[in-house]
Amino acid sequence: MAMLEAVTDAPSLAHDEVNASAPHPVTGYRSFKLGAFELSRDEYFARITWPAKGQTRSHLIPADAFLRAMMRDVAWGFFYGWVNFDHVIGTHNHYGNVDLYAGTFNGVLKAAEVNYTENFETPLIMATFKAILRDWTNAVFDPFAAPQETETAFGRKKGDNIEAIERFRIATKRMPGLKDDSPLRDDLPVNRHFADVNQDEPEVHAADGFEGQLHAFSLFKYLSRSDVTWNPSVSSVCQASLFCPTTEEFILPVFHGNDRVEWFLQMSDVIVWDVADKDDGNPRARITMRPGDICAMPADIRHQGYSTKRSMLMVWENATPNLPQRYESGELTPYPIEF
């Protein structure tokens, strides 16, 4: 591995503390150092190393799976709770700072005491992850797309795909389509799996005196024009209640570990969910959701979904402040209903 050095002459490395090597003489990819972690990639795999028990431990993740997982972690701003890239590597959001861990939430590795966790200020880990995405994503690969919608992530470095990895996520204030709020995606094409979705918008007829105060849009049309998978977009904001629908195809690139209860409403097609213990990864359940099904994901689990056909899923998030602390203290039970 090339000697790691701080790179300040590359505009793609947006933070002056991002620690990156020169490009590898054969593969063309840079390696990155974040605290005691080192992250590198070759033509097929991302390699993560960390110290434990006086030795350097390492873990491999296929490059496409790693980039898809990291893309969601960056796009979600490290999300609510835990984003497990796989059964070993992941991040834990403390809302201002973030843990990067290896094996900490894997029962076997933790029991063997070869796990490692290091905490970073959010701007530093975010800048490093963005730099990795920019350097490791080749011109033909889109980590937001379903496998049939993109070419391969494998091989030596060949260009980049900045447009794909830096899609601008517009924050919805109340509801898409309102004045000065997020747009309705009319400029995006209908996805191939949603060719049968009606594209008509509802008509709003306000009573006298209420003109401009009522708003409606077709959520099915809105979702049919999503150009990404497994990336919730806020479509309704009511104080701390957020409706975050998304379109899902193939595999959720991460195991999401909850720090609050998360509610799912299946709007179309089918998603199969593997549910496991948040702390050690032991399996708990497999859930098959069909249109109209509603499921609560408790605050003490991790979950990963599978969708053969692109499907529509409504995710309800409770953004009430201090929820993680209330669940962690035992004030709130990790599940909404006790049977």
User: Cα(226)–Cα(305) distance, rounded to whole angstroms?
Assistant: 18
Q: Is the dihedral of CA 155, 159, 160, 161 positive or negative?
A: negative
pLDDT tens digits for range 301-338:
999 999 999 999 999 999 999 999 999 999 999 998 88
Q: Residues with Cβ < 8 Å from 257, sequence gap 6 or more?
A: 81, 82, 83, 84, 90, 92, 105, 278, 301, 302
pLDDT tens digit sequence for 122-163: 999 999 999 999 999 999 999 999 999 999 999 999 999 999
Parallel, antiparallel or unpaired: strands 262-266 and 271-277: unpaired
DSSP label at 170?
P
**Lowest-pLDDT range, 6-20, 52-66, 84-98, 122-136?**
6-20
Closest alpha carbon to 168 in 92, 235, 227, 247: 227
pTM: 0.93
Output Rg (C-alpha) for the chain, integer angstroms: 21
Cα distances (angstroms) measured from residue 195 to each of 178, 190, 219, 313: 26, 6, 15, 17
Quote the Cα angle for 12-14-16, to 5°: 120
Beta bridge partners of 244: 315
* Domain 192-201+213-227+229-329 CATH assignment equals 2.60.120.10: yes
Contact 46, 58 (CB under 8 A): no
List the domain boundaries for the chain.
4-165, 192-201+213-227+229-329
* pLDDT the model gives residue 58: 98
Rounded percentage of the chain residues whose pLDDT exceeds 70: 96
Read off the pLDDT band of 339 (50, 70, 90).
confident
